[in-house]
Amino acid sequence: MISMIDHVVILVRDLEQAMQAYTDLGFTVQAGGTHADGITRNALIVFADGSYLELLHFLHTAPQHRWGRHLAYGEGLIDYALLPTDTTAAIATALQHGLTLAGPLAGGRLRPDGQQVAWEMALPPTPDLPFLCGDVTPRYLRVAEGDVRIHANGVQGIAGVTLAVPEIGASVQRYRALLDLPHHPASPTAQMPPLVIPELGAQIAMLPIGQAVVMLVQPGGVLSFTALDDDASTPMSVPLRGPVSAFLETRGAGLYGLALWQQSPPNPRYNHRLHDLGRTHGVRIELVPLPEQ
């Protein structure tokens, strides 16, 4: 079973500079350490709901790495992970529904204090899907507890992610296989077909994962109009293009936006900064008021 969004990965060019930038955005940032492959190191921003943001820095170019291709596009969102209760079982369940995940694969990180952290992963066959990340060592060693989960900007957790996809129907089927949704007919949102926004020509599907939502967006459509020239009228049409279309053309399918739960009332000192792509290192952040308990 997959219980929640585990973390979101943000590629940064300079880790120390990014750590300071996110501190200035009102986050409590902690050094993570160097990964076992020696290719990347990270810093973490852990939330009250147990999810976190990972600021990831490549120590050297690595074309063969899962995220190596993103170095050519610059900083920003590059991937996200789901937390399974049992990685091996999640792989088997996905396979029963026709989705093949690579794994379980060993992962690990050496923290700055010398503590070794271990987990196991399952990697998806297509970039519209997340990877799975399940703990081997106790979770608190990877995802710290205590005061590091308190943030001056009031952010409490991950409310959702948005992914740009070229064929939403195929992506929805892959997510249903990954999340084992065919066996949960009681979830109306999971069974709902993609929504269409005629004015924009976009299709949108929303899939719940724990307290968060994954939104898939397939841009497209045509704007039709009539051009008037003196007494003549000529039907015309132009393709609709927006930032999601440009993202797909440049980077292909993948993580486009991030929504974060924020306690009310919001802190005006930080909110305008959290919408500044320069300060967030290219991450599109939406703030969602935390529901009252």
The upper half-sphere exposure of residue 194, i.e. CA atoms within 13 Å in the direction of its Cβ, equals 23
Domains of the chain from N-terminus onward: 2-152 (3.10.180.10)
The CA distances from residue 51 to 32, 56, 156, 227, 292, in Å, are 15, 16, 9, 52, 19
Q: What is the DSSP string of 74-137?
A: -SEEEEEEEEES-HHHHHHHHHHTT---EEEEEEEEE-TTS-EEEEEEEE-SSTTSPEEEEESS
Over the stretch 65-105, which tens digit does the pLDDT of each residue have? 889 889 989 999 999 999 999 999 999 999 999 999 998 99
The span from the CA of 108 to the CA of 9, in Å, is 16
Radius of gyration, CA atoms only, the chain: 20
pTM of the full structure: 0.87
For 229, residues 6+ apart whose C-beta sits below 8 A from its C-beta are none
Q: What is the DSSP string of 206-238?
A: EEEETTEEEEEEE---EEEEEEEETTEEEEEEE
Over the stretch 139-186, which tens digit does the pLDDT of each residue have? 999 999 999 999 999 999 999 999 999 999 999 999 999 998 854 444
